[in-house]
Every structure is written in C-alpha cells, then in structure tokens.
A and B are shown apart, each in its own frame.
Chain A
C-alpha cells in the first residue's frame, strides 16, 4: 500500500501517534515519516488534528443542529457563493453540498437551542439565495467518526478468553 495512505490511516485512528511509533508500524524511518507528514501538511491533505469529545460528560452545554438548506443556484456560481457566505459564521462547524431534496447541509453549534434558532432566523435564512431551512437538533449521539459513545458497544467479546 502507498506509504502516505498508510500514515494517513494511522493518524485518522489516533493523531497523537508519534513519528517514532508510526515509523515502527509502517517500517519507514522516522525521517521518512516526518517528511511525509510535512509534505501532506504542506499540500493541505492533512488539514488539522482534532479531538472527539463527549461534551455531555464535561458539564459544558454544547448543542448541535444539522440544518438542511435549499438554495437557488446562481448563474456562473452554482451554490458556491451561498456556501462560502454560510461558512463565514463561526457557529457553523461544517458546510457540505449534498444530493437529494436539499442542497446544503450545515452543522451549527451553540450553547442553547434558542441561540441556534435565532442564528437560523436572523443570519442564515435571510441570506440572499437561501430558499428554505429545516433545522434538526441532535438529541443523542451514538457514534461519530467511527467511535461509539457508549462503552462496550464497540467490542462485544468477553474480556478474557483462552
């Protein structure tokens, strides 16, 4: 397998693996790993190293909403302009063009449902070209980025077997 892909896969699994650990696993030298990662960062293949947090356990209120947006495509720009415009708000965590009934899927984070509702009403909906919005609040997370939120869901084996 392509060594860069192998490194990317490992970082996706755990981005805190050290260069040395990655070198051990892949059989590359530490230097090669370092250079490959640098190269991938420079090319913006690796964009950011993030953390998956179960906010419920932290005491901080984090409400997430998935908002389906219908957009009138513009001559020469399609959906891009509106998408870029939505991206500017810091409450917006992700924006994707999607197929199907809606055009954009927007993920928004806030402290309360009201805060998000106001964001949609006052900022998102009035944007020129936005035809409609449908807001879905996330009530409970089961799995994200391949990780199960509830303990024991990912490994159903007995803990010790011969």
Chain B
C-alpha cells in the first residue's frame, strides 16, 4: 500500500533528523568509541531507584492528577526556590510532564496559531523547529556565532523579530554548544522581549550542569516571570532520562492552557517516576553535586585535549558537550564525522544536525569516563595527524 498519499503534508514537510541518519551509520559499525550520546553515563542515584521500586511495591500504579502529584509539585517549587530563587505556586503555576520534550510541545501548542513565528536560536536541540512546524507555526532560526560564545545577542534577536513573532525559545545551557547565558547577557535581551511582547519558552534542562558560576533563569529577571514558560526536568541533573519526567513553571493562565492539551493527549506523567523524583529533590543533592564535579573534570580534560590536537575549541560552560570547530580541515561536518567513524571508529555528531550555523563544527559528548575520553582523544589525534 502506498501510505505516502495518506500522510499529512505537514509531517511530510519535516526533514528527518540529521542525528537519526548518523545513528544508522554508527550502529552498523563495530568496536567504536561513541562520544555521541546526549544523556548521562551515570545510572539514576540509588535513592531514587529505590523509591521507584517502593512505589511499585506499595501498589502505586494509578493515574495521578493531570498536573502531577501535589507532593511533587511542592518539591519542584522548593527546588526552583532554593536553586534559582524563583517563586512558583505549586497548586497553580507548576505542571509535571513526560520529559521536557512534552513540555516544549505543550508550550508551543498552547501559544501558536497558524502562521505565528517562533524564534529559534541555532545551533540548538533538534526538536524545536519541527515541533513549531507541527503546530502550524513558522520556526525562524536565529543564528548564533562562536565569536559571541554562541549566546543570543540583542542585535541577533532584533534582526529576526517581525509583527508575527510570538515567542522565543531560549535554549541555555545549550545543547550542542555548551554555551550558557549569564545574568548580564540575559538582561541585555529582556527589554527587547518586553517591547515586542514576546513569550519566552526557556528550556533549562541543563541548568544544574553549569560550571564556573550558578545558572540564572531569565524568569528571575524583573518583568520576566509573567512572560516566561520555564521548562526543566529530571533527565540530566538527576540522570533520569529513561524515566521521562519533566515540568513546566509558568503563569496560571499558561498552565491552564497547556494542561488542557496535556489532559487530552497524555493524562499524566507516570506515577512511579513522579514518586521517585520527589526523593531525588529532597535527598539527592549530593549526588547532583558529585556528578557535576565529575563532568567538570572531563570538560577540562576534553577541551584541552582537542586544543592540543590542533582544533579550535570554544570553552563550554554548561551541559556536557564540547563543540569544536573542524573548519580548518576543509571538510563538511558530515564528511568529517563519517571519515572519523570509518577510519578511527570514533562516533561524534555533525554540528549541522543542530542547525545551519553548526556546519563546520562537531558535537562531542563528555558524558563518558576519563578513560574512554582518553582513548577517543588518542584516536582523534591519530586522525588529525593525517588530515590537518
């Protein structure tokens, strides 16, 4: 049967993920060292896993309220207050989602009508633009530049705003660049956001993985809480990717609108994960700190390693990726990655998978042991000696 004619035009218009293509290539290879993963190498801290097991043991296998367990929302409110000095009412301004991914989708669906434009700084996480398109909105890429440490500058932002611009996705700390936006840098774009009456969808999933200083949420700046849909989750900080648990903090009106969609499409996040996450917030602070310290060591090691081999490498201050430039090789990102995979059996992700400005870069994850990173660096050095 020719299914193609039945598939919606919108779905057909979305390009397949550049990562997916590369994934197929990598899985057909053997003995590779993969530095391509976007998730922690740690297993979920034991206290959290145990609570998940206990929840099942107690027979907690039901739906929860659409917004999520009240105790979890209180815990999230406590977390946001103690970590980022943000005050959200757990009853009205917080909802629990299936990962930050659902949260992004909900925010866009709640805000957009046909033809509304959403600004998407790039390079950035692969799903923003397709989610905008699926909602019948129009994604407008805002290129960021290594010269500016891959932050969103006021000029970049202004240049892409039109009368149809409704929202801005703010993806910091950033996947794939590892860039963060400091308080001063956020302050510089606030006036523009308010002046043009934009809503910010702030994806702060890597907030706890910020090195050299603390993460600042744009929602904490004057006048911004009311126009920010703050997205975060448990995947990265608590090493809980497979539990699929995220959350949104925003004005009550936004939460109500998003909850309307959520109740019809997913009902609620899994109850096991919700109970486990409560434990995580109250009892696993030490684990978070330990994991962050470990990532920080690897970060210094791998950045230095790439620089010594001869690649220009922007110093990332967040997440667990580095984004070195491979421009001096004369190859495209795809060519570089395919060649590196074929000749040295190291898998990294081509930068252009994250937007056109990622061309000439590669994303290298350091969610791996020092031992593994060291071996990968040796292979990359070997490779570079031939091509540089």
How many A-B pairs with Cβ below 8 Å?
Answer: 61
Cβ contact of B370, chosen from A13, A158, A161, cutoff 8 A = A13
On whether the beta carbons of B374 and A160 are closer than 8 Å, the reply is: no
Which residues of the other chain, B, contact A24 by a CB distance below 8 angstroms? 300-301, 304
Complexed CA–CA distance, A103 and B214 (Å) = 52
Complexed CA–CA distance, A136 and B347 (Å) = 42
User: When each residue 131-162 of chain A gets 1 if its CB lies under 8 Å from chain B and 0 otherwise, what string results?
Assistant: 00000000000000000000100010111111
User: When each residue 24-38 of chain B gets 1 if its CB lies under 8 Å from chain A and 0 otherwise, what string results?
Assistant: 001100011010111
Which residues of the other chain, A, contact B19 by a CB distance below 8 angstroms? 160-162
Determine chain A's interface SS by DSSP, over half rule.
loop
On whether the beta carbons of A25 and B32 are closer than 8 Å, the reply is: no
Which residues of the other chain, A, contact B297 by a CB distance below 8 angstroms? 25-26
Which residues of the other chain, A, contact B27 by a CB distance below 8 angstroms? 159
On whether the beta carbons of A159 and B369 are closer than 8 Å, the reply is: no
Cβ contact of B23, chosen from A10, A16, A27, A159, cutoff 8 A = A159
Assuming the A-B contacts A21-B301, A24-B301, A25-B301, are A158 and B371 also in contact, with contact meaning beta carbons closer than 8 angstroms in the complex? no
Cβ contact of A161, chosen from B32, B39, B369, B374, cutoff 8 A = B39
On whether the beta carbons of B347 and A13 are closer than 8 Å, the reply is: no
Which residues of the other chain, B, contact A159 by a CB distance below 8 angstroms? 23, 26-27, 32, 34, 36-37, 347
On whether the beta carbons of A158 and B37 are closer than 8 Å, the reply is: yes
Interface centre among B22, B127, B301 (most CB of A within 10 A): B301
Chain A: CB-nearest residue to B27: A159
A39 in contact (CB, < 8 A): no
Assuming the A-B contacts A24-B300, A158-B37, are A10 and B370 also in contact, with contact meaning beta carbons closer than 8 angstroms in the complex? yes
On whether the beta carbons of B26 and A21 are closer than 8 Å, the reply is: no
Total interface residues on A, using CB and 8 Å? 18
A4 in contact (CB, < 8 A): no
B283 in contact (CB, < 8 A): no
B125 in contact (CB, < 8 A): yes
On whether the beta carbons of A160 and B370 are closer than 8 Å, the reply is: no
Cβ contact of A162, chosen from B127, B300, B301, cutoff 8 A = B127
Interface centre among A16, A17, A159 (most CB of B within 10 A): A159
Which residues of the other chain, A, contact B374 by a CB distance below 8 angstroms? 14, 16-17, 21
On whether the beta carbons of A161 and B300 are closer than 8 Å, the reply is: no
Complexed CA–CA distance, A13 and B298 (Å) = 13
Interface residues of B in 5-44 (CB under 8 A from A): 17, 19, 22-23, 26-27, 31-32, 34, 36-39, 41
B126 in contact (CB, < 8 A): yes
List 27 contacting pairs A-B, 8 Å CB cutoff, sorted by A.
A10-B370, A13-B371, A14-B370, A14-B374, A17-B374, A21-B304, A21-B374, A24-B301, A24-B304, A25-B300, A25-B370, A151-B31, A155-B41, A157-B41, A158-B37, A159-B26, A159-B27, A159-B32, A159-B34, A159-B347, A160-B349, A161-B39, A162-B19, A162-B38, A162-B125, A162-B126, A162-B175
Residue ranges of A at the interface with B (Cβ–Cβ < 8 Å): 10, 13-14, 16-17, 21, 24-27, 151, 155, 157-162
